[in-house]
């Protein structure tokens, strides 16, 4: 190893050590641990009625304080656009309980969630089921389009639907949280098909890197600098020349904490409050 290479390696180690010891990182790790404990208690609730694929929460904005009606002031159509939530590997819809409450406070009318089994399912198959769910939601609500929010593997499922299965016809915005868009090293440790699909250089990640000149969905990818499951962390960004994508770095937030972080929920609400011209 040359002196220059060795010097750069040492510098990277020092920077990594400083990041791990920073107050923001320590605080983020503590919050992540507390949320994991809370989520473990909530997890069984997410399994209820799992056979019912279409699960929804409809909210009325009547009686909400003015401060919580900001969305309707700007765009009535945006407030009514349904939001479909899809969880990550080894999780269920309970991960989105705080986000559902946060979106309700911001005036969004209805949210839906899809459960799937990471042991028996794969990205392509669940993406097709997600497409069926989105069609059901559109039929039920009378809306032509929905927004999709995917955590971790759920973001890859939503992206595959939008980018490869024609889902951009009815997915206006796809929000991903801690999604390994460019693969992740920990996926090599899990002997499941869905894990193999999250490996860098694997067939699914390679397929998503192919040209997509006609994809009309708007993408927002939230990624964290201390994400312990997306490694290296910048792989949580969408880097594709054909996609209308915005990457949002969230400092000091762990992988499981991304769906419950107040900053993330506020940014999602602000983004979804506007149906811009990116989708005709």
The pLDDT, as a whole number, for residue 92 is 86
Q: Is residue 49 situated within a structural domain?
A: yes
Examine residue 280 and state whether it is found in any structural domain, yes or no.
no
Of the listed ranges 81-85, 104-108, 230-234, 253-257, the least confidently predicted one is 104-108
Whether residue 2 has pLDDT greater than 60 = no
Structural domain of 116: 3-272
Domain count, the chain: 1
Residue 37 placed within a domain? yes
Q: What is the C-alpha to C-alpha distance for residues 91 and 40, in angstroms, rounded to an integer?
A: 10
Average pLDDT rounded to a whole number, residues 271-277: 77
Q: Do the Cβ atoms of 118 and 89 come closer than 8 Å?
A: yes
Residue 254 lies in a domain: yes
CATH number at residue 148: 3.40.50.1820
- pLDDT of 90 reads 82
- The C-alpha atoms of residue 156 and residue 147 are separated, in whole angstroms, by 15
Give me the mean pLDDT over the 97-121 stretch: 89
pLDDT of residue 188 exceeding 90: yes
Lowest mean pLDDT among 36-50, 103-117, 189-203: 36-50
279 in a domain, yes or no? no
Is 191 a domain residue?
A: yes
Q: Is position 278 within any domain?
A: no
pLDDT for 3? 56
Which residue in 128, 101, 125, 95 sits closest to 113, CA to CA? 95
- Which whole number is the average pLDDT over 37-43? 53
């Amino acid at each position: 190893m040359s002196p220059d290479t060795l010097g750069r390696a040492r510098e990277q180690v020092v920077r990594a050590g400083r990041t791990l010891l920073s107050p923001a990182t320590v605080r983020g790790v503590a919050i992540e641990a507390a949320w994991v404990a809370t989520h473990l208690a909530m997890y069984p609730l997410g399994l209820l009625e799992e056979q019912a694929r279409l699960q929804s929460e409809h909210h009325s904005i009547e009686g909400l304080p003015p401060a919580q009606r900001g969305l309707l002031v700007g765009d009535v159509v945006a407030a009514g656009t349904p939001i479909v939530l899809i969880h990550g590997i080894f999780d269920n819809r309970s991960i989105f309980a705080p986000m559902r409450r946060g979106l309700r406070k911001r005036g969004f009318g209805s949210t839906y969630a899809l459960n799937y089994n990471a042991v028996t399912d794969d990205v392509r198959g669940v993406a097709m089921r997600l497409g069926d769910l989105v069609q059901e939601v559109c039929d039920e609500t009378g809306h032509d389009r929905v927004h999709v929010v995917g955590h971790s593997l759920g973001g890859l499922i939503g992206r595959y639907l939008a980018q490869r299965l024609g889902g951009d016809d009815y997915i206006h915005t796809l929000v991903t949280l801690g999604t390994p868009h460019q693969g992740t090293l920990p996926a090599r440790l899990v002997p499941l098909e869905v894990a193999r699909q999250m490996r860098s250089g694997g067939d699914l990640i390679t397929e998503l890197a192919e040209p997509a000149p006609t994809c009309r969905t708007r993408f927002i990818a939230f990624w964290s600098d201390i994400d312990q499951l997306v490694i290296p962390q910048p792989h949580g960004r969408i880097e594709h020349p054909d996609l209308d994508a915005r990457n949002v770095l969230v400092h000091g937030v762990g992988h499981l904490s991304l769906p419950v972080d107040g900053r993330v929920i506020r940014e999602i609400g602000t983004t979804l409050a506007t149906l811009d011209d990116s989708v005709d």
